[in-house]
Amino acid sequence: MFLHFGILLLLSKGIFGEVDVSEAIDGDSRIIGGQDATPGMAKWRPNVVSIVVGSHQIKSGGQRYKVKKLMPHEQFSKATAKNDVGVIQVEGNIQFNDNVQPIELFTQTVPMGRKCLLTGWGTIDYKKNISPNNLQMLYFETINTNLCTQKLNKKAAYRAALPLNDGQLCGKRPNHKGTCQGDSGGPLVFEEGSKYTQVGIVSWGIPCGEDYPDVFASVPGNYAWIQSKIK
């Protein structure tokens, strides 16, 4: 099972220019990523969505592909952010080159204390709503979901999303750094030399860069569902 890194461009009226980082999966025509919208919203109409791969700049470069089909998880909960994963099928085949390559999906139990790499184009100044043009990166460390739940439980507004389940995982990072708006759907990967394996997908967090862990959809925890959609 392999996955590819890309940009999901939302081109409908009213959200033009808004982007989510997403990942293409299985061979050369599938994408997975977290959900910033719910079924029925404009973002979920295939005719207003396209995928760009092979660029580190959000406004230029890369290859663009039209979306053929959008498949959000049937049991996604907006209230709790459980099952926060979806699959997107693009029209045609994604062409691989030096800038576009597949990445393996992690299928085992996620080890705690493991260093991970996150990339995305999320907001870099939360108060001023400033987003980068160049792809950003940040290292995380996986932590136990029970400990994560305890830390997040200190914020009353987020208790409805707790406790976390096996379909989720947590990562901690240096203070004043973390995920932010626009990072949803971004890939969390294990880095071993020149090899990368995807373990998570950005789901939610307490914005932005506060001293709390971030929550990711677990790739191994959702692997069976992903498999069911790409066969």
With a threshold of 0.85, does the pTM exceed it? no
Q: Quick one: pLDDT at residue 33?
A: 54
Q: Are residues 216 and 197 in the same domain?
A: yes
Q: Quick one: pLDDT at residue 194?
A: 80
Q: Quick one: pLDDT at residue 219?
A: 95
Q: Quick one: pLDDT at residue 149?
A: 96
Q: Where in the sequence is the domain holding 210, given as residue range(s)? A: 104-221
Average pLDDT, 10 consecutive residues per value, the chain (231 residues): 45 30 45 50 63 84 87 91 90 87 90 93 85 89 95 93 96 86 91 87 89 94 92 76
In a domain, 149, yes or no: yes
CATH code at position 94: 2.40.10.10
Write out the E strands in the chain. 2-10, 19-25, 30-33, 49-53, 63-72, 86-90, 102-105, 115-120, 136-143, 168-172, 187-192, 195-204, 214-218
**Tally of structural domains, the chain:** 2
Q: Are residues 77 and 129 in the same domain?
A: no
Q: Quick one: pLDDT at residue 164?
A: 96
Q: Quick one: pLDDT at residue 172?
A: 94
Mention every residue, 6+ apart, whose C-beta is less than 8 A from residue 122: 21, 131, 136, 179, 180, 181, 182, 183, 184, 186, 208
In a domain, 24, yes or no: yes
Q: Are residues 127 and 98 in the same domain?
A: no
